[in-house]
Amino acid sequence: MKVGHALRLLPSLEAVFPLRSLLLASAEPDTRDVWGGSSSYRTVGLHEVDSGELRRQFAAGFRTVTAHLDALYTAFADAMDAEDRDDHAGAVRRLLDAGRSEERLGRFDQANAWFRAALQLAEPLQDQHPEIDALLAIGELTERVGLYQQAARVYQRALALADAAFQAPAASDACAGLGAVATAAGDWRGAQAWYERAMGLAEGSG
Checking if the pLDDT of 47 tops 70, the result is: no
Provide the whole-model pTM. Answer: 0.76
CA distance 105 to 189: 34
Residue with the larger pLDDT of the pair 194 and 29: 194
Q: What percent of the chain has pLDDT over 90?
A: 64
State how far Cα 196 lies from the chain centre: 27
Checking if the pLDDT of 48 tops 70, the result is: no
Cα radius of gyration (the chain): 23
CA distance 181 to 153: 10
Polymer length of the chain:
206
159: number of Cβ within 10 Å: 27
Amino acid symbol at 137: A
pLDDT for res 181: 97
Average pLDDT for the chain: 85
